[in-house]
Amino acid sequence: MAIPEDCSSPALTFNRISVTRGETKILEDVSARVPLGGNTAIIGPNGAGKTTLLLALLGQTEYSGEILFSGNTTRPRIGYVPQRFAFDRGLPVTVLEFLVMGLQRKPLWLGIGRKYRERARTLLKAVQAERLEESHLGALSGGEMQRVLLALALQQDPELLVLDEPSAGVDVKGGKVFCELLEDLGRKWGFTQLMVSHDLATVTHHASHVICLNRKVIAQGSPDQVLSVDVLKSLFGIHMGVVDSGIIASPKKDFSKEEKGGDDA
Amino acid sequence: MMPDLTSLYDLVGWLLPLECLELTLMRRALLGLVLLAPMTAAMGVQVVNFRMAFFSDAISHSVFAGVAIGLLLSISPGWSMPVFGLAVGLCIMLLLRRSSLSTDTVVGVIFSGVVAFGLAVVSRDPAVSQDVEQFIYGDILTISDGDILGLFFLLAVLLVFQYFGFNRLLYIGLNAGLALTHRIRVGLYQYLFAGLLALVVVLTYNAVGILLVTAMLVVPAAAARNFSRSAGGMFWWAMLISISSAVAGMVISAQEWADTATGATVVLVAFTWFLASAVFGAFFNHSRKFH
């Protein structure tokens, strides 16, 4: 498949990625580019292989093909914000400990070094969650957890920030605020963003580049180029009522609730 | 050459001038328990976080097979048990990482195979099968100077591992996928943990018997979870509960009015700690359990 030349310096190039599980082809010959510094969204229906493509990128699933990072195969520093952070909520861990555990060598039972404490505070401040420092991790709400996970991802000082469904489990307003926070952080920290999303409203508002995926790449380019009625029809098929009713022209509504039935991750 | 441990036992007697600790035998047993307790406490924290209680059960039941292999190859069980336990632990971890079967299925399958093999071989030999009771109940009083030195060595190794591995293991216990993405060497830590846990389990069985090994790992850590608000706090609570249970259990079991099996008494004291922690958790710590 020809790769459009509109993005001159890609942060990331997927080159003919295929993933097969048993008999099922999950991804077929996916070639796409993620422009440097922008916010790229991968959209597609359930089962389109969006998360699988992320897992391939993160090196957590077998694939054929090639993923190039700024032209070579060395993986850059990646910060990852998972969709569902499944963990044992009864485990006693504070937010501060959570943010320090990946950096500090000295065990947490000997206390937290000042350097690491300061660093964790800076990160919490960056995601506007300073007040959560002493909170118990298991007691956080969906939106709070998302911010703490974003802080943990930022701790990697990422060149590439990968988010899986950032608007899942958060209400419409919360999702919007989170996306604005991401845009702001992307500018300040200078990382490239790659997100998987169900939510067309989020994508049209916040993405600078879109990859439409349904096992294959259906289209890619800037949102106004790509999010046409024809592309969305072939991507989502039966959900096209919402496009025909003109919502895409003025995308204010959150579609994710309709598709996923109010997913509470 | 065996170093003389007499002065160490004298120290135990001086620290705890109790009538029941006048015999060196008893002092040695107490020292053995006090060396084991911090190991099971520290490893127990991760056993609970990783949900690996069943894993430790499988290892403890592999001691039969360890003895059986010793018999077949004419090796002392003192060597064949830890080596076999280690092999079983690493084997389960390998399967867990590679197989699509669930954790309890993988552990259950290995568990059954190992126990069946051990019982089959051991049952052929009447001399060994008479010792089965000791496998089940354990006997801390049979601990030797060599065992004590072995425990000192393992404790040192384990403290180094816990020093360097605690934070990483917490990360993996919370979410292995995220830990991997954020450049933690998940596989390395999982294998090291499984191997060391296997060694701790094999050494603990001698003190409390195979039925109660898992209790020594799980009960102090579970109680610690109820008492603490942070991961660092949980570690120290587990230490306190485990060591105090070891000492109190040993002393109580040696009283004339009690005259109970030491291992079982230690676990009962720890269990009492757990009950207290559950009450404490219900009244004072419920804020973090509203999910």
d(C-alpha B105, C-alpha B55), whole Å: 11
pLDDT at B129 over 70: no
When pLDDT is averaged across residues B24-34 and rounded to a whole number, the result is 90
CB contact under 8 A, B163 and A107: yes
Q: What is the pLDDT of residue A141?
A: 86
Question: Would you state the pLDDT for residue B196?
Answer: 94
What is the predicted pLDDT for the residue at A8? 54
Residue A239: its pLDDT value, please? 54
- Report the mean per-residue pLDDT for chain B: 87
Give the pLDDT score at B14. 87
Inter-chain contacts counted by CB atoms under 8 A, chains A and B: 107
Nearest CA in chain B to A142: B291
Q: How far is A88 from chain B (nearest CA, A)?
A: 7
Query: What pLDDT was estimated at residue A83?
Result: 78
Within 110-129 of A, beta carbons closer than 8 Å to B belong to 110-111
CB-based contact, A62 to chain B, within 8 Å:
no
**Residue B192 above 50 pLDDT?**
yes
pLDDT digits (tens, 9 = 90+) for A2-46: 444 444 577 889 999 999 888 888 999 999 999 988 889 998 888
CA distance B256 to B104: 42
The DSSP secondary-structure symbol of A264 reads: -
Query: Tell me, what's the pLDDT at A85?
Result: 80
In this prediction the ipTM stands at: 0.84
Query: How many Å apart are CA A223 and CA A209, to the nearest integer?
Result: 6
A38 contact B CB<8A: no
Minimum CA–CA partner of A138 in chain B: B288
With beta carbons under 8 A apart, name residues in chain A contacting B180.
58-60
Of A58, A93, A106, the CB nearest to B230: A93
Q: What average pLDDT does the structure give for chain A?
A: 81
Cα-to-chain-centroid distance, residue A124? 19
* Minimum-distance CB partner of A93 among B162, B166, B231: B231
What is the CA angle A184-A223-A205, rounded to 5? 40
* A89 contact B CB<8A: yes
Query: What digits encode the pLDDT tens for the residues A68-98?
Result: 988 787 888 889 988 778 788 888 999 999 9
CB-CB under 8 Å, A58 with B231: no
Q: What is the pLDDT of residues B250-282, one digit of tens each?
A: 999 988 898 888 889 999 999 999 999 999 988
Q: Which residues of B touch A91 (CB under 8 A)?
A: 49, 173-174, 225, 231
User: Is the pLDDT reported for residue B290 higher than 80?
Assistant: no
Measured between its terminal Cα atoms, the distance across chain B in Å is 58
- Higher-confidence residue: B5 or B217? B217
The shortest CB-CB distance from B225 to any of A90, A111, A139 is to: A90
Question: In chain A, which residues have their Cβ closer than 8 Å to the Cβ of B97?
Answer: none
Sites in chain A below the pLDDT cut of 70: 1-8, 169, 238-265
pLDDT digits (tens, 9 = 90+) for B48-68: 988 888 888 888 888 888 888
| Pairing of β A39-43 and β A209-214 | parallel
| CA-closest candidate to residue B280, choices B240, B225, B236 | B225
* Distance in angstroms (rounded) separating the CA atoms of residues A236 and A261: 16
Q: Mutate which of A101, A116, A140, A149 to test chain B, going by most B C-beta atoms within 10 A?
A: A101
pLDDT at B93 over 80: yes
Q: Which residues of A touch B189 (CB under 8 A)?
A: none
* pLDDT of res. B285: 64
Percent of chain B predicted with pLDDT > 70? 95
Full strand arrangement of the beta sheet holding A10-21: A24-35, A10-21, A64-69
- Cα first-last separation, chain A: 36
Task: Confirm or reject contact between A265 and chain B (CB < 8 A).
Answer: no
Q: What is the predicted pLDDT for the residue at A262?
A: 37
Instruction: Give the closest-approach CA distance of A139 to chain B in angstroms.
Output: 5
CB contact set of A66 (below 8 Å; sequence gap of 6+): A15, A16, A17, A73
pLDDT at B252: 94
